[in-house]
Amino acid sequence: MPEIHYDASQQWVLSLTLALMVLGLALDVRPRDFLNVAKTPKAPMIGLFAQFLLLPAFTCLLTLILDLPSGIELGMILVAACPGGALSNFITHLSGGNTALSISITAISSAVAVVLLPINFVFWASLNPVANQLLLDINVSAADILASLILVLALPLILGFLIQYYAPKVAQALHGVLKYLSLIALFVFIFIAIYRNQEHFVEHFSMLFFVVLAHNALALSIGYLFSTATKLNSADKKAVTLEVGMQNSSLAIAIVFTQFDGQYAMALISAFWGTWHIVSGLIFAGVCRWVLTRKNKVLS
């Protein structure tokens, strides 16, 4: 089996980058944000339901229909089980969506993912015979994934909330730095990882592009159609669509290399997702801004 150019030092860099992104998110989420969610829970609950139930369920169905290599199918299920990423907050802002709702859903989904991700992943993978066999062959347990998530998600969230509570000025200044530093570090990391493994991406580009395009389109469609069916307003609909359509694929990559020994196909699908959902998110935001501009011209 081909090998991915990736070592333990890179894994530490990725894990640290993810932890910094989660920390930066926690520094920007205030108790009143969660209070507002509690007062108007409809939109967040719709987003979380679509993200943690509908997306993994339809992803499992998609893998059964497409009949792909086991690593690709297991990678798709892993990405679908991940929470939304912090990048969705930025794209939601660009689209004119409800950024506060996006941040709240990201924070809540990151917190509950510590428990739900391993349960979701193992459950839906078990319904796919091919993916489940690979899971059994590698002998990965939900407890091992849970331990990784505590380090990457839970601890940075708790630390961020504590800093914000006891030192709000420090939290504000630190958030301003981490907001950009962590995103730049993530982009650089993904670029270097793809560059070092470009032969693998070129060799499997056609299959990866088709699979990720279909899977990401499915995710965005689930978020948009479900939020439309439940009659959310336009700004909330944009936030929910992007939360479901922009999964934390970097977290999936971290899990692949800590728990799956860098399984070739799973790493490729996670990395390609991490690149493509940025493009699709920006396209979605661009279309939203274009539609808004057209409406304003008509009204004027």
- Looking from the CA of 300 toward its CB, the CA atoms found within 13 Å total 6
Q: Residues 47-72: pLDDT tens digits?
A: 999 999 999 999 999 999 988 888 89
Task: Report the CATH architecture of 8-299.
Answer: Up-down Bundle (1.20)
pTM for this predicted structure: 0.82
DSSP 232: -
pLDDT bin (cut points 50, 70, 90) of residue 242 is very high
Q: How is the chain split into domains, by residue range?
A: 8-299
Of 8-12, 86-90, 115-119, 182-186, which range is least confident? 8-12
What is the reported pLDDT for 1? 45
Of 137-151, 187-201, 210-224, which range is least confident? 187-201
Contacts by residues 222-231 (CB-CB < 8 Å, ≥ 24 positions apart):
222/50, 222/54, 222/55, 222/58, 223/47, 223/50, 223/51, 226/46, 226/49, 226/50, 226/54, 227/43, 227/46, 227/47, 227/50, 230/42, 230/46
Q: Integer distance in angstroms from the first to the last C-alpha of the chain?
A: 61
**Rounded to 10 degrees, what is the CA torsion of 129, 135, 139, 140?**
-140
> Is the CB of residue 91 less than 8 Å from the CB of residue 284?
yes
How far apart are alpha carbons 54 and 218 in whole angstroms?
10
What's the per-residue H, E or C state across 55-93? HHHHHHHHHHHHCCCHHHHHHHHHHHHCCECCHHHHHHH
How far apart are alpha carbons 294 and 116 in whole angstroms?
41
